[in-house]
């Protein structure tokens, strides 16, 4: 049992741990109301986009593309439902948003990272599982739903930013 636990943490590449640290930092920061730039809002969708296409490269076919697109759309739709009531304050002059504190960012990060880690562990243990199209498509779906949720939330906040009245957030 202890050996399996050690293997879980020895298996991933070293870059995984700084990335997890950064993602946890972002998730914990989101607990409190904060002011963020429009540019920074696109970091999490970018990270999870990379997660979602990492295994697709070289394995793209019609069905996996369909799974990727459908999962992205479902993720966007879910995030719009979950985050539609979120109130933001916009500073259009400085391209800033004030977001309320939420636990959902950390929750989504932990679920997404755990799924990616779980599938990565299974693939590391037995790379031939990628030859099973059912496994591969579940893997693509899980990582892409996360991307879709972060993308949907970002675009929803951007839409709200564009519609909101501008308030100076520099002085707050």
Per-residue pLDDT tens, the chain, 172 aa: give them.
667 666 666 667 777 788 889 889 988 998 999 999 999 999 989 988 988 888 777 777 888 899 999 999 999 999 999 999 999 999 999 999 999 999 988 998 888 888 888 888 888 889 899 888 899 889 899 889 989 999 999 999 999 999 999 999 987 5
In-domain check, residue 25? no
Q: Could you give the number of structural domains in the chain?
A: 1
User: What is the pTM for the complete model shown?
Assistant: 0.82
Can you give the residue range of the structural domain that contains 60?
34-163
Considering the domain boundaries, does residue 44 fall inside one? Answer: yes
C-alpha span between 10 and 90 (Å, rounded) = 44
Query: How far is C-alpha 128 from the chain's CA centre?
Result: 26
Separation between Cα atoms, residue 105 and residue 30, nearest integer Å: 7
How many angstroms separate the CA atoms of 73 and 57, rounded?
20
Domain assignment present for 1: no
Residue 49: inside a domain, yes or no?
Answer: yes
Instruction: Examine residue 152 and state whether it is found in any structural domain, yes or no.
Output: yes
Q: Does 19 fall in a domain? A: no
Domain for residue 3, yes or no?
no
Q: Is residue 11 part of a domain?
A: no
Q: Phi and psi of 101, rounded to 5°?
A: -70, 145
């Amino acid at each position: 049992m202890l050996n399996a636990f050690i293997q879980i943490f020895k298996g991933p590449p070293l870059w995984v741990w700084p990335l997890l640290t950064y993602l946890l930092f972002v998730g914990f920061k989101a607990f409190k109301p904060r002011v963020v730039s429009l540019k920074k809002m696109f970091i999490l969708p970018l990270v999870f986009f990379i997660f979602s296409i990492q295994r697709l490269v070289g394995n793209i076919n019609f069905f996996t593309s369909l799974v990727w697109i459908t999962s992205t759309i479902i993720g966007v739709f879910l995030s719009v439902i979950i985050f539609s009531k979120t109130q933001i304050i916009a500073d259009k002059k400085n391209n800033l948003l004030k977001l309320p504190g939420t636990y959902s960012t950390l929750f989504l990060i932990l679920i997404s990272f755990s799924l990616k880690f779980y599938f990565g562990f299974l693939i590391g243990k037995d790379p031939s599982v990628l030859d099973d199209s059912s496994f591969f498509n579940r893997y693509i779906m899980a990582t892409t739903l996360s991307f879709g949720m972060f993308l949907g939330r970002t675009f929803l906040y951007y839409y709200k930013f564009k519609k909101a009245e501008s308030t100076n957030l520099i002085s707050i």
